[in-house]
Amino acid sequence: MKNLIQRRWLLGLAVFALTAASYAQWSNPADDVPAYHPSAPLKVNALPPILAGAQLTGENFRYPWQVHIYQQAVKIGNVLYQLPCNCRCDRALGHTSLRSCYENAHGTECSTCAKEEIFAYRQTKAGKTPAEIRAAIARHEYESIDLENQ
C-alpha cells in the first residue's frame, strides 16, 4: 500500500513538473514576438521575389485590395523584411518576416497580413523607421484598417 501511494505521489509530481515546464515558455508574452529581421537584408536580390505583375491575377486576387497590397509590398519590401507578422505564420508556415507573406499568396488570404502591410506602407510614407513601425504593430495599431476601403 505504501509503494502504491509513493508511486501515485511521484506520478503526480512528475505530471505537475512537466506541465509547469511546458507552460514556462508562455509565461512572458512580451518575449513571444513573431519572427522578423532586425535590419534590412544585405542582398535584396538573394531574397525570393514579392509577387508582382501578371502574378497578381487569378483566384487569390479577386478584390482590388488584394492586388493593391502586393503593389505596395514591392515598394517597401526592405521594411516588410524588418517587421513581424502577428498572424503567426512564422510558426504555421515558416515565414521569417511580414515580407514572406508577399512572396506567395498568403497575403491575400490573411487580413492580419494585409492590414499590417497597409499600415507599414502608410507609416513608411509618413517617415517612420522600421523599428517605430514594429513597435506600433506590437501595439496592434494596424487593426483598425478597413481592407475594403483602400
Q: What is the pLDDT of residue 28?
A: 41
d(CA 40, CA 33): 18
Q: At what angle are helices 111-125 and 64-75 packed, to 10 degrees?
A: 50
Question: How far out from the chain centre does Cα 50 lie?
Answer: 16
Instruction: Express each pLDDT in 57-102 by its tens digit.
Output: 999 999 999 999 999 999 999 999 999 999 999 888 999 999 999 9
Q: What is the pLDDT of residue 5?
A: 67
All structural domains of the chain with their residue ranges: 1-30, 33-144
Query: pTM above 0.75?
Result: yes
Cα–Cα nearest to 109, from 125, 133, 93: 93
Q: What is the pLDDT of residue 43?
A: 85
Alpha helices in the chain (DSSP H): 2-24, 64-75, 77-81, 89-92, 106-109, 111-125, 130-138
